[in-house]
Structure 1
Amino acid sequence: MGSRMMHYCITSEINKHIYSSQESRIHLGGLAPDLTHPVFAPKSVTHFVQIDSEGKKRTDYEFFAAKYKENFGDSFYVGYLSHLVADHIWYETMYTKLIKALPEEERQAAIDKGYRDFRRLNKLLLADYPLSPPTETPAIDNVMIDGLYPEYLPVITQQLINDFHIEESVTPDDLEIYSLDAILKYIRLSIEETLNVLRTRFLIQR
């Protein structure tokens, strides 16, 4: 699904819209579903994956919003929701078209190219979203979400900080699978849909 830097771009924009950029917990929530090491929580649990009658998987962010609707006064849950929304959009607009549609023997090579693109995009995205790495990891000791081990959040925060350390020069032409325009559109769609869910379900007052 989307990279840490993409999720950070998404939560940073939502932070502006809702909290005037005053929240730090929202960013941890936006990273939390991918916290699989060192606890190896199943992604099907942390991403609230549902399987329909045809066997198709879906990140059920609407179920998450309904289950934890009383908790959205905490920006951590807003960030977590944004991650689930973004992963659903990624699967439908990126993975299904660019990876899953390939013959099985070509799929792993495409996945590897995609991960290389993620590293290049870390730098490219900072031109449109001039962000700084997080400087603190606030204590998250009052969150109960299925499959989440909050005590390990500093691990994934450090991984995001490492994503800012890019020495090589990169241009959009260096991307192998994704295009910068498509990624920027994906980020915008993820922001818009998250805000839509929050407002239509009255999960936020702003």
Structure 2
Amino acid sequence: MGSRIMHLMIANRIAEYFPVEDKQAFLLGGIAPDAVSPKELSHFFKGELQDYSRRIDYNGFLDKYRSQTESDYILGYFVHLIADDLWLKGFYLPWLKNRLEADNELSNLYYHDFRLLNAKLLKHYGCANELNPMLRSLPTICELQEVKSQDVESFLPDVINDMEYEEDVINETLNVFMFDQIIGYIETSVDKGLVRLKAVKR
């Protein structure tokens, strides 16, 4: 799945184009599914990894909380699920799962890349100073069956920590991913998120 910072960038980019009344709630919804572990329920997984039928039922989430779609938090959560479904189908199932299972050392490089990408993406999008204050308080958000507001509140220090980095890592080389590849993933997630949000709001 995409990293916390990737999801934050996706939600923030969507908020530039979609009329969000409560941006803080939208951003928090955009990271909320990762606030709990394991993630089976919070990510609305369907299908199995073994037979490659795995998917994220983001429409099922929307159907479950249809009465709350006026909430920017719910819409941010919806966008997160869309982005993770893209990651699942574009990265994990086609090649990443195979390589991680074949090479025990690759998982360390994978998570190291995520740490490098945190810095590279924050630098690229230039929004850290804007977003950081929004992660330091918790507005009133929906109490979902899958993720409680307390889960999100406890999770925020981890996200804030992800935003801290040394300048020298900006130029460090990625091992598993390419930077343009990740930018493409983020921008595609933004595009698809906007398409689906506009359909919800018709």
Relative to the length of structure 2, the TM-score reads: 0.87
Which segments of structure 1 move beyond 4 Å, counting only runs of 4 or more? none
Matches within 5 A, 1:93-108: 93-102=90-99, 104-106=101-103, 108=104
1:172 shift after superposition? 5.8
Q: 1:130 to 1:5 in 2, by over 3 A?
A: same
Matches within 5 A, 1:47-126: 47-51=43-47, 54=51, 56-102=53-99, 104-106=101-103, 108-126=104-122
Q: Does structure 1 residue 24 correspond to structure 2 residue 19?
A: no
Unaligned runs of 5+ in 1: none
Greater helix share, structure number: 2
Matching residue's letter, 2:3: S
Q: Does structure 1 residue 9 correspond to structure 2 residue 28?
A: no
Match of 2:189 in 1: 190
1:131 paired residue among 127, 133, 153: 127
1:15 shift after superposition? 1.3
Q: Residue by residue, what CA displacement relative to the aligned partner does 1:133-164 show, whole Å, maximum 9, x if unpaired?
A: 431323335x1323212113122221111112
Q: Percent identity?
A: 29
Q: Secondary structure at the match of 1:170?
A: helix
**More moved, 14-23 vs 121-130:** 14-23
1:35 shift after superposition? 1.0
CA distance in 2, matches of 1:138, 1:49: 27
Matches within 5 A, 1:100-179: 100-102=97-99, 104-106=101-103, 108-132=104-128, 133-135=131-133, 136-141=136-141, 143-171=142-170, 174-179=173-178
1:20 shift after superposition? 6.3
Q: Secondary structure at the match of 2:105?
A: helix
- Measured on the aligned residues, the alpha-carbon RMSD in Å equals 2.2
Q: 1:172 to 1:65 in 2, by over 3 A?
A: farther
Relative to the length of structure 1, the TM-score reads: 0.86
Work out the number of aligned pairs and report it: 197
